[in-house]
Structure 1
Amino acid sequence: MTSIDAPVLDNHLHLDPAAGAGMDAVRDFERVGGTHLLIVNKPSWHLGPLPEDPADFDAVFETTVEIADRASEILPGHAWPVLGVHPTLISRLVDDGCSPTEAGERIRMGLDRASAFVDDGRALALKSGRPHYDVSDEIWDESNACLRHALELASDADCALQLHTEATEELTDVATWARDVGQDPTRVVKHYAAGRLEGVTPSVMSEKDRLERAAEGGDPFLMETDFVDDPERPGAVLGPKTVPRRVRWLAENGYDDAIHTAHVETPRQVYGIDTEATLS
């Protein structure tokens, strides 16, 4: 069991109190030593229709803010919302009859709405990305246009941007786009990352082999589960107890510096949050 004096942050998970474990997952996380969460909104179509106007996005974002507030009441630390648009929305919209350009316009509308939540202090960071599967050149180009728009919004809002992308250990193209619009690439985070990543900051899936590579590399990194909280997909990705348990495993194997990097230093560098000061 980790001490309350040692922050333990899961950088990326989803919670669904209506259909999934919800706050029970937060309690499970807390009981095994978890202290802080970054809660990412579920894809908009999981909680409603395919979005057509800003209100469709706002409903999902409002729900996620409320979930983070409830989680903060349980945790010894704090939970923050991360809001944005899952990149696979473009394929769903195209399948529903939109052109790639029309789909991109809806996605940018959703990102604009998410940015408004950051601007007024209700969300900590943004989320965007591009498909992790094969798509047409037109969809790929439009997806990258949406990603670049998200980088511009993050730069304007002075916040971090989480990305869902293809499996890769090199995102120097995104780092270049970030610098072009004034966004520090350090504040761009690849979710579901492997143990090493060139270009932006990795949020490493909390599997032992990936974490060992990250710990031995000595570079900034974060830890996550991508817990999906979907009763129709039991066991999908990693459970909410995983990050605290992996922190304990890292400590047992002498990786204390890496623990401090992932749960104190990198959250401060990327998000501007102090996980030590926010412990009660």
Structure 2
Amino acid sequence: MEPLDTPVLDNHMHLDLEHGQGLSAVNDFVHMGGTHLLVVNKPSWHLGVEADEPAAFAHVFETTIDAVADATELLPGRGWPVLGVHPGLISRLVDERGFTPEDAESLMRGAIDVAATYVDRGDALALKSGRPHYEVTDAVWEASNNVMKHAFKRGAELDCAVQLHTEASEDLTEITAWAADRGLSPHKVVKHYAGGRLAGPTPSVMSNKSDIETAATEDAPFLMETDFIDDPDRPGAVLGLKTVPRRVRWLLGEGYDEAVRNAHIDTPKKVYDINTEGTLG
């Protein structure tokens, strides 16, 4: 495979070294020209953690940190962990485990605090939060928004980005206003699984051709992702880890050189303060 003369970052993906493709997928990514990964912890229950207290999430976070260390050994650049709580956890807690929305909120806020300790000591790059992308009760919706606002507060204190899992939308300016109210710059709020056009957060665009081409023509900061879930029980559920470098090759072939620089050099620097060029080699 012909090398690419640019860093190539997948902004949101997962690794499961025990049950999934793990490092084999990382090798595929590198073979296609990928250089950097932001590895988000899998939902806690997917790793067998049914937490009753925030400290139980440490296993989830440390498993992710260890996976990133192993992946970095294979990458031309490096990986970074993104740690936090999947917003779907609140439904698992309330609907399956009998938590009240208020108790679920308290546990999830505590988990964000545990994740923040890893960011604070430099073991993780950013936090993860959000709210359900499906219908929930008003009480669950309010609790979920409170968890997300708490993540913004901790992100502001740490000066780190917060990646969000939310409903599909082209306008999430209300959310970035909440972040700004808590001292977190709107550009440090990242909407995972975004389309090519979004008002408010920085979009992390799913790397299908149509959304990526839309983002490339918007002349606004954006990132690229696959949301690779590394789950053998759900093959093909989202995009494979080869996809971002493939789309970078396609963008370059279509003349979108500035868009590639935007997504893989300029926006990562602006959002996360990472140097994807300087960490190559």
What interval of TM-score do these two structures reach, taking the shorter chain for normalisation? over 0.9
SS in 2 for 1:74: coil
Displacement after TM superposition at 1:39 (Å) = 0.1
Contact 2:49–2:57 at 8 Å: present in 1 too? Answer: no
Report the equivalent of 2:139: 138
Contact 1:40–1:64 at 8 Å: present in 2 too? Answer: yes
The one-letter code of the counterpart of 2:58 is D
What is the number of residues matched between the two proteins? 280
Q: Tell me the distance in 1 between the aligned counterparts of 2:58 and 2:91.
A: 21
Report the equivalent of 1:48: 48
Could you say if the C-alpha distance between residues 205 and 2 of structure 1 is closer, same or farther in structure 2, counting changes exceeding 3 Å? farther
* Identity level (%): 60
Displacement after TM superposition at 1:2 (Å) = 5.8
Report the equivalent of 1:189: 190
Report the equivalent of 2:57: 57
Report the equivalent of 2:150: 149
Report the equivalent of 1:20: 20
Confirm whether residue 165 of structure 1 aligns to residue 147 of structure 2: no
Displacement after TM superposition at 1:141 (Å) = 0.5
Residue-by-residue CA offset, 1:41-86 (whole Å, 9 max, x unaligned): 0000011232112332000000000000111000000000000000
RMSD: 0.8
Gaps of 5+ in 2: none
SS in 2 for 1:83: strand
Report the equivalent of 1:231: 232
Confirm whether residue 260 of structure 1 aligns to residue 261 of structure 2: yes
Report the equivalent of 1:35: 35
Displacement after TM superposition at 1:4 (Å) = 5.4
The one-letter code of the counterpart of 1:11 is N
The one-letter code of the counterpart of 2:36 is H
The residue correspondences of 1:67-78 to structure 2 (distance < 5 A) are 67-78=67-78
Residue-by-residue CA offset, 1:190-240 (whole Å, 9 max, x unaligned): 000000100110000000000010001110000000000000001110000
Confirm whether residue 274 of structure 1 aligns to residue 264 of structure 2: no
Could you say if the C-alpha distance between residues 109 and 210 of structure 1 is closer, same or farther in structure 2, counting changes exceeding 3 Å? same
Q: Tell me the distance in 1 between the aligned counterparts of 2:192 and 2:19.
A: 24
Structure 1 segments, 4+ long, off by >3 Å, are: 1-5
The one-letter code of the counterpart of 1:40 is V
